[in-house]
């Protein structure tokens, strides 16, 4: 699809997701097209790469927040930061985790300290 090709050339994650939607419709109309399958595979890969970067950035931010909340909890008593820790752990739990993202951000130590 020409539109999907243009969207993929933009290079951003939102365009890759949009191209993937366009290609799904095009594949429904022509399920035998090898060109559409190839474009869909490229769009899917770019979309996953973009999502992975977003998850890593979010995990890095949550790691900083967890470390700060743990430090405040140690200074002000365990009960002081329990609600904040629970909120942050729920945010971590809601993310689509990959081994690469967890390993690269090294968030495990902070999560382990919350136990």
Q: Which of 86, 49, 91 is nearest to 70 (CA)?
A: 86
Model confidence pLDDT, tens digit, residues 20-69: 888 888 889 999 999 888 988 888 888 888 888 888 999 999 999 998 88
pTM value > 0.75:
no
The answer to whether the CB of 64 falls within 8 A of the CB of 34 is: no
pLDDT at 78: 56
d(CA 77, CA 99): 33
Provide the 8-state DSSP code for 115: -
Split at pLDDT 50, 70, 90, the class of 11 is low
Both tokens assigned to 110 = 């902070």
Tell me the average pLDDT across 62-84. Answer: 76
């Amino acid at each position: 699809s020409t539109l999907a090709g243009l969207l993929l050339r933009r290079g951003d994650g939102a365009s890759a997701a949009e191209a993937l939607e366009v290609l799904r419709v095009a594949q429904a109309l022509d399920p035998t097209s090898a060109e559409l399958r190839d474009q869909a595979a490229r769009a899917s890969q770019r979309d996953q790469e973009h999502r992975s970067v977003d998850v890593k950035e979010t995990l890095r931010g949550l790691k900083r927040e967890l470390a700060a909340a743990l430090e405040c909890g140690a200074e002000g008593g365990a009960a002081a930061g329990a609600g904040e820790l629970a909120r942050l752990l729920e945010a971590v739990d809601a993310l689509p985790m990959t081994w690469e993202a967890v390993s690269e951000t090294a968030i495990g130590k902070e999560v382990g300290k919350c136990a």
